[in-house]
Amino acid sequence: MKLKKLLFRWVAQVALPLLAGGFFSSAQAAKKPEPLLVFCAAGIRQPVEAAAQAYEKEYGIPIHLQYGGTGTLLSSLKAAGAGDLFIPAEESYVVSGRQAGLIKESIPLATLRPVIAVKKGNPKGIRNLADLLRGDVAFGMANPDAAASGKIAKEILVETGQWAEFEKKAKVFKPTVNDIANDIKIGAIDAGVVWDATARQYPDLEIVELPGAERDADLCPCACADAASGKKADQLFVASRDTVSACVLSSSKQPTEALRFARYLGAKDKGLPLFEKYHFTPERGDVWAKVPDLKLFSGAMLRPGLEETLKAFQEREGCTITTVYNGCGILTAQMKAGQRPDAYFSCDTTFMDTVADLYADNENIVDNFLMILVPKGNPKGIKTPQDLLAPGVRLGLPHHEKSAMGNVAWKMLKDMGIYDALQENMKVESPTGDLLVNQLRTGSLDAIIACRSNLSGVSEHLDGVPIDHRLANMTQPYAVGKDSANRRLAERLHEAILTEESKQRFEKAGFRWKAN
């Protein structure tokens, strides 16, 4: 009996804790977060590295950074087909990455401009691009095929017809912009083309402020044609700007986490102050939230075509969307009273126009058409709007002030000269088409005027009678709030609404696609 007690005590105090410890250790190991693999242009290293360290400390997600020239990194991505984020130093790489199917989303972070950098004090007295061709000046730039700064410099000099001369005269072409900055620092070259932010990160360097548009051709010792080319090149360098973006890769196995870190980099109160600290010009960013909530006002008619896209967007972005569906007259009245959604998807351009000062440029996404909806078989034999005047027809109309559909129907019926006469048969005026459809299905009404999209999903119960009139259609635009704290997120929702999958959902719901 004593031996049994000792054995029981040993199991309880030693064996079970050891087994449990091993079990929970294994479980914890299994839950260890996967690292994010980020391909980052070498010239953007400092702010991205600082943000990655802060993010890992705050959320426990390891960030593995791989640096190189932007062109070299893009080539590696094409070959490897792996990775979570790509942060190039030039927008054309984002475009080509999207075209190649490598990039899904992109979030702008900062802007850069190409400059000539020299050692502090500018010992060679370099004033402009033409001075780089002097016999006493050794200069270099990043390889145009490997790095964004070199690519932009080449594009400018090709445009001015000077590339062959500069290519021949250059002492070095290096893989990254940082390599050129280091060569200037140690005196291996006198000057080089780098990013403005890169030059400012080196205390031993300074930027040559090119005269640009203010420069007179007679300051150039070359022939007149060369002077004009040199002046144009200076102007193009002064005017040139490029955007740094955090791009989520199609190859990412954890796109929601990749998007979250990209949002962190682009947040006005997280990553963007680090870009400013390291002398980049930060873009406008959203306020940081691990799980942001986007507020969307939408006309009720759009719901059938929109809901699946909103659901997919929330799952991918790791956000929530608070969607308020209602008649657009009610929605715009709420906005005029002070409510500020992040985005507005209107049932018609006329209602978007009434709150246009609150929104950035809107885009027409789809359009819809007014129809007469009747019970299956059309027992009243209604074929035209004029047939709605027949005695005994119980009619439902959308509200002419509270809904875009009602506003368009009111204008159309006024134009036909029958609106006032229809009041005798009108039994219901509703802010949304769904309420009218429900009353028609329950037998409370004999006919309603609604949209083609209102027939979608109930066509086994109702018939639709087309209306042949120039005012029978309406267009649905989407816009992002000018002062939204989630403006970038709302812009990405716009992109999601423009996808082929979204187009198919809207067309299935009875809308006609208008967006490019």
Identify whether the C-beta of residue 501 lies closer than 8 Å to the C-beta of residue 495: no
Residue among 236, 260, 238 nearest 248 (CA): 260
Q: Count CB neighbours of 209 within 10 A.
A: 11
> Residue 122: exposed, middle, or buried by beta-carbon count in 10 A (0-12, 13-18, 19+)?
middle
- What is the rounded CA–CA span in Å between residue 142 and residue 269? 32
pLDDT at 15 over 70: no
Mean pLDDT, the chain, integer: 89
Q: What integer is the mean pLDDT of 168-191?
A: 94
pLDDT (0 to 100) of residue 41: 93
Calculate helix-pair angle for 404-416, 328-336, nearest 10 degrees. Answer: 120
Amino acid at residue number 68? G
> Residue 228 — very low, low, confident or very high, per pLDDT cuts 50/70/90?
low
pLDDT at 216 over 50: no
Q: What integer is the mean pLDDT of 167-184?
A: 93
Residue among 200, 214, 212, 213 nearest 112 (CA): 200
**pLDDT, tens digit, 9 for 90 and up, residues 264-311:** 999 999 999 999 999 999 999 999 999 999 999 999 989 999 999 999
Going by the DSSP 8-state scheme, the letter that residue 32 receives in this structure is P
pLDDT (0 to 100) of residue 291: 97
* Helix residue ranges, H only, 211-327: 224-239, 255-265, 271-277, 303-317
Amino acid at residue number 165? E
**pLDDT, tens digit, 9 for 90 and up, residues 100-145:** 999 999 999 999 999 999 999 999 999 999 999 999 999 999 999 9
Residue among 382, 379, 375 nearest 462 (CA): 375
pLDDT (0 to 100) of residue 79: 83
Going by the DSSP 8-state scheme, the letter that residue 13 receives in this structure is I
Query: Which segments within 288-446 are labelled E, that is strand?
Result: 293-299, 320-326, 343-345, 363-375, 395-398, 426-430
- What is the rounded CA–CA span in Å between residue 321 and residue 294? 5
Tokens of 222: 């070359």
Domains, the chain:
36-110+243-282 (3.40.190.10), 114-240 (3.40.190.10), 293-365+475-513 (3.40.190.10), 369-473 (3.40.190.10)
Q: What integer is the mean pLDDT of 227-234?
A: 72
**pLDDT, tens digit, 9 for 90 and up, residues 477-514:** 999 999 999 999 999 999 999 999 999 999 999 999 99
Identify whether the C-beta of residue 319 lies closer than 8 Å to the C-beta of residue 312: no
Q: What integer is the mean pLDDT of 7-15?
A: 49
Query: What are residue 176's phi and psi, to 5 degrees?
Result: -135, 160
